[in-house]
Amino acid sequence: MRVKNLNINNLRNIASTQIDLDPCLNCFIGENGSGKTTILEAIAVLSKGRSFRSGQISSLIGPKGENFQVVSAIESQSGEAHRLGMERGAEHWTARHSGEDVTQISELTRLLPYVLLEPSSHTLVSGPPDGRRKYLDWGVFHVKQDFLTLWRRYNRVLKQRNAALRQSNMMVVESLDPQFTHLGESLHKARKDHATSLNEMLQQKLPVFNQTLEGVSLSYRKGWAGDSLAEAVQFSNPRDLERGTTGPGPHKADLYLGLDGVSAKERLSRGEQKAMTAAMIMAQAQLISDAGERPLLMLDDLSSELDETHLARVLNAGLELEAQVWLTGTDLSSAVAACETSYTMFHVEQGRVSSHCG
């Protein structure tokens, strides 16, 4: 997937701009607060309907009205052209795909896959399980066509079950349990298969980013004890009723990073955690690419987090994947100096964007 051009209107401090993108490498340079990350946010919003920085849509809307708009022409690996557009306000959204109305944002998500590495990404290793579940589900969504439907059905039943537990209505809980356990087992299998593929790909990527990471492995923990989810749910019902929420299930799953039989995040330095995160992101990018469509690789302000050597490794890994790379920073001259590819350098200043080719 390659973005050919991007039009942004009233998104944060960008009043209006049109950007023509390089098919390989795009570098956005500017001072902090100039609008560099907003350009990457535009892609995230167009793909997922929301930013990776803020869950509040109102914070994305600029001063020039009550909505923002993002429009882009993209081209798939097979050469198929698409035009995507989204308008969002605080309480509504509309989207179009090649002139047709879009009713599900997931339609745009599938057409515009991306992976993101930014300063807080290291919490993928050091943070709570929720971030790792989202990372895992993002990958499964792009490689397994029916995963989103399965995920939505499971979470709908989970919500209904929790509501029944809060009302102490065990008749409803028990009526939901067969569906809950069937969907949970199916969700578990999809995640487990993808986690296995992730670990295999990760073993290839780890030495590229840091030799000290060899020996770290990734495994999927399903979110309940024992083999049968049905048995785990039945055993947990008294405690679930007392707490008013469902205990066992894939909503409690995690990706476990192990090293020599202990949790890797307890052994890794902050720098190794960052390198580990980069390897995990690139492993995911490779699997998405292998499934049929190369994702965009967005690298936000990594020069403030990674030294030149590690930044170059991430950048080269993306270029070797033949992904379109979007890179932001205050000074990227050293990062692109050794690149044997075309690139376009964009200067971002107070929401205004200008470019020259390199």
The DSSP result for 203-244, as a single string, is HHHHHHH-GGGTTEEEEEE-SSSSS-HHHHHHHHHHHHHHHT
Residue 206 neighbours by CB distance under 10 Å? 24
Work out whether strand 2-11 and strand 14-20 pair parallel, antiparallel, or are unpaired.
antiparallel
Which of 258, 292, 326 terminates a domain? The answer is 292
In Å, how far from its chain's centre is CA 214? 25
Q: Could you tell me the strand order of the sheet in which 14-20 lies?
A: 14-20, 2-11, 67-75, 81-89, 93-97, 100-101
> What CATH number has the domain bearing residue 266?
1.20.1050.90
- Dihedral (C-alpha) 139, 213, 219, 288: value to the nearest 10 degrees? 20
Same-domain status, 144 and 257: yes
Same-domain status, 126 and 250: yes
Same-domain status, 284 and 162: yes
User: Chunked in runs of 10, what are the mean pLDDT values of the chain (358 residues)?
Assistant: 97 96 94 95 95 87 94 95 96 95 95 94 92 96 95 98 97 97 98 97 90 89 96 97 97 93 87 91 96 94 80 87 94 76 91 82
Tokens (6 digits) for 212: 């000290």
Same-domain status, 141 and 273: yes
Question: Could you tell me if 23 and 323 are in contact, meaning their C-beta atoms sit under 8 angstroms apart?
Answer: no
Same-domain status, 333 and 284: no
Same-domain status, 85 and 130: no
Same-domain status, 23 and 150: no
Tell me how far apart the alpha carbons of residues 193 and 231 are, in angstroms, rounded to a whole number: 22
Same-domain status, 154 and 238: yes
Counting every residue, how long is the chain?
358
By C-alpha distance, which of 110, 97, 114 is closest to 39? 114
The predicted pLDDT at position 266 comes to 86
Same-domain status, 94 and 182: no
By C-alpha distance, which of 358, 357, 286, 349 is closest to 17? 349
Q: For residue 281, give every residue at least 6 positions away whose Cβ sits within 8 Å of its Cβ, in sequence order, or none.
A: 115, 116, 117, 121, 124
Which of 235, 266, 292 terminates a domain? The answer is 292
- Dihedral (C-alpha) 42, 43, 45, 47: value to the nearest 10 degrees? 160
The predicted pLDDT at position 357 comes to 66
Same-domain status, 130 and 161: yes
Same-domain status, 82 and 147: no
Same-domain status, 102 and 63: yes
Which of 292, 323, 344 terminates a domain? The answer is 292
The predicted pLDDT at position 259 comes to 87
> What CATH number has the domain bearing residue 334?
3.40.50.300
Q: Name the strand (E) or helix (H) holding 9.
A: strand 2-11
Which residue range is the domain that position 342 belongs to?
1-113+295-358
Q: How many domains does the chain have?
A: 2
Tell me how far apart the alpha carbons of residues 158 and 118 are, in angstroms, rounded to a whole number: 32
Tell me how far apart the alpha carbons of residues 156 and 16 are, in angstroms, rounded to a whole number: 39
